[in-house]
Amino acid sequence: MTFYEVIKPELIKKKDISYMLILGLQGSPRKKGNTDYLLKAFMNEAENSGAKTHIIEVAKKNISPCLGCGYCEKKGKCVIEDDDMTREIYSLLWQADAIVAATPIYFYSATAQLKALIDRSQTLWSRKYRLNLIDPGRKTRQGFLLSIGATKGKNLFDGMRLTARYFFDAVGADFHGSLTYSMIENKGDIKKHPTFLDDVKEQVGSLLKPLLGRKKILFACIGNTCRSQMASAFAQYFAGDKIEALSGGSRPELEINPVMVEAMEEKGIDTAFRKTQSLESAISDVKPDMIITMGCGEECPYVPGATVKDWDLPDPAGKSIDFMRTVRDEIEKRVRELVESISD
Ligand SMILES: Cc1cc2nc3c(=O)[nH]c(=O)nc-3n(C[C@H](O)[C@H](O)[C@H](O)COP(=O)(O)O)c2cc1C
């Protein structure tokens, strides 16, 4: 199958929306409760503004509490491998451009379900502070807190704000702001709050403003395991504030290449939790401004209105780490040039 065959013009939706992902963590175990309603209103507004959204119903996930064993501080991964945190959530946290943590106050803090997720983010904390690896999404990722409590004490949200601040730091996000509502107790109380919808609109606008309008660049190769992953990571790392970088493969493999991860770690850049995806999925609802292919000869993809460039780089998959390093350095050089040309 050629690149051209994969990117058929009719597959591309022409909506001018972004790749940006807003990840919501719904921390209340109560079905259709106040937190659920508030978070949905927030995400709805984000979608209307052009972002993609995904809500994790934390109470429905299998998340074991942190064991405090210190394994992640040495190995950079969690010793608990068979739950949803390792299977799915670490990767989503680092894929997200903004993370919205939503929780009712339980004893001046988050619910136990959300707290388990927060504690397990210690693995991401360890990768940054113990292994000195930088997740390239850090440059732009934002964190936002939504919280609700039944009483009206003036310190009601102090504990949760502190917890959120340290959680957002661990997952590589700036604490952008919060919306907190006291005296909200019974199901549906939030709907009667006089300003909450206006508050949501205002806060979503300020959260997304710096993230919208970036140049959308899709890096494409065949397996989406090495070249396009490195290129998109460098683009995010050097210019996440100007570029929305995405990658895809015409025949994506199941996993990213561990030698690529090692070579990027030598540069201090963390790609460990990245996933592969097909070009079809990459362009399913976004039209990129530019597509950069990694060596497709005459099979370069065609997307109406998008500039296509071919970097013509050799495929390092299955080769030595030295070969991977050579390709990595060439990609880094080209991404730097690309960023300069965009900044001019
Ligand atoms: C176990 C538990 C602990 C709670 N602790 C507090 C608290 O410390 N302070 C407070 O104001 N409300 C407390 N609440 C009330 C909830 O925060 C409040 O009812 C909220 O609206 C529930 O949100 P939900 O509908 O999203 O679940 C507690 C509720 C439960 C079930």
* DSSP class per residue in 188-254: TGGGG-SSHHHHHHHHHHHHHGGGTT-EEEEEEESSSSSHHHHHHHHHHHHHTTTEEEEEEESS--S
155 CB near ligand 1 (under 6 Å): no
Full-model pTM: 0.93
Strand-pairing partners, residue 243, are 215
35 CB near ligand 1 (under 6 Å): yes
The pLDDT of residue 18: 73
CA distance 344 to 342: 6
Per residue of the chain (344 residues), give pLDDT as tens. Answer: 444 444 444 444 444 567 789 999 999 999 999 999 999 999 999 999 989 999 999 999 999 999 999 999 999 999 999 999 999 999 999 999 999 999 999 999 999 999 999 999 999 999 999 999 999 999 899 999 999 999 999 999 999 999 999 999 999 999 999 999 999 999 999 999 999 999 999 999 999 998 988 999 999 998 999 999 999 999 999 999 999 999 998 889 999 999 999 999 999 999 999 999 988 888 887 788 999 999 865 555 666 667 888 998 999 999 999 999 999 999 999 999 999 998 77
Residue 221 designated active-site: yes
The pLDDT of residue 40: 98
Question: Number of C-alpha atoms within 13 angstroms, CB side, residue 98?
Answer: 29
The pLDDT of residue 2: 44
The pLDDT of residue 222: 87
Nearest residue (CA) to ligand 1, atom 23: 104
Name the residue of 107, 114, 187 whose CB sits within 8 Å of the most ligand 1 atoms, as the mutation to test its pocket: 107
104 CB near ligand 1 (under 6 Å): yes
